[in-house]
Chains A and B, each alone.
Chain A
């Protein structure tokens, strides 16, 4: 780790100018300091929301072993 911040890896995307203007108006007086910080926030939110929930990858054998321990410890009846 160095004292000086490393050059960040950013890329540029293009959005329609009227949309950019709308966003600039929208973020006035909020904590967002730039169009980029707003776009980053929104994209992170949307992408993480698209993650599928649940669907554990435990094998039946694994699960049985765990349940046995949970029963022995009184966590399960």
Chain B
């Protein structure tokens, strides 16, 4: 099993009783930031112990690495306005809170600093266009950043906790299962036949498959979280060996940063104990901002990542071959190919129709159709 990124699995949980938080300034953070806090505390973002300070941010933006040369591509930042924290200065501690998650965390502020939104957007997302959702988020950020270590005091139970494993838990799980090599698959959708093909192809060469759907904020028209989880439960029950595949969720927001985010996704899965990470076509992309294989190419900049990317190109069903193929293995003309169109599958399901079994397992489609409203409104 690989060492966690940076060499050590971070644990920033602290017992509330051991700390006096009376009199500390409280700052309510949004749900995305609260999820960042929990991910830092659980070691998902190892080696980060808190929000980035200026030196690290500079290096992440320009070099795709923390100041100590560890690969890191997506800045984890805490933004605020002067009015939010009037009396606070560097060296102070504040209490970060979030009602929805019940998060209460201590932040020891090492640094308060300004940043340039345009530079941040251009370097991370390769564009300054506000039509890019990641760029829009950057422009909506507040004017100041606070860097420093966090300590998580409390968080409350949440929906889907039964699917939620920390890196410590997955590492122990993989060890108990006797898996040495584990391939991670990230998803935001119910599985179609193409996904199954990718997962099983990768699994053929390793010991175990770790299916890791991203759960959280969604846009209208996306599948609901419970639909994604139920459909995977069904697929795994009928078509996977119990001792070869597990699923747990990852609560984090999508940044749509394409290649940079592919590296970030790989780092998180390395922290979960995975040795391999599946990277598809236009991974974490949006619109036409990135080339279809930019997220593959960026891995060549990181000889020290210590998780093996498994690259998949686009795939389809070939009626001549009688199976799922990709452009490296099938000699037949495009007219014999049926593409796995997520849009088409969604359209059929929206109309209450079952997609062809060439596209989606019957059991999976039936599971989705049992939901009155499988899509986010």
Contacts and interface: CB of A to CB of B under 8 A. Distances in A.
Nearest to A45: B303
Interface in A61-77: 62-63, 66-67, 69-70, 73, 75-76
Instruction: Please classify the interface of chain A as helix (H, G, I), strand (E, B), loop, or mixed, using the class held by over half of its residues.
Output: loop
Contact of B119 (A1, A45, A54, A76): A1
B162 A63 contact: no
Contacts of A21: none
B172 A63 contact: yes
Given A1-B57, A75-B246, A51 B172 contact: no
B61 interface: yes
Contacts of B116: 1-3
B330 interface: no
B300 to A, nearest CB: 7
Contacts, number: 72
Contact of B303 (A2, A44, A66): A44
B314 to A, nearest CB: 24
B372 interface: no
A45 B7 CA distance: 15
Interface of B: 1-3, 7-9, 54, 57-58, 61-62, 69, 113-116, 119-120, 162, 165, 168-169, 171-173, 175-177, 246, 300, 303-306
Nearest to A31: B300
A56 B172 CA distance: 9
Interface of A: 1-3, 5-6, 31, 41-42, 44-45, 47-48, 51-58, 62-63, 66-67, 69-70, 73, 75-76
B250 to A, nearest CB: 16
Contact of A41 (B61, B120, B168, B303): B303
A47 B2 CA distance: 15
B172 A48 contact: no
Contacts of A3: 116, 119
Contact of A48 (B113, B176, B246, B306): B306
Contacts of A45: 303-304
Most chain B CB atoms below 10 A, which of A1, A5, A63, A66 = A1
A55 B9 CA distance: 11
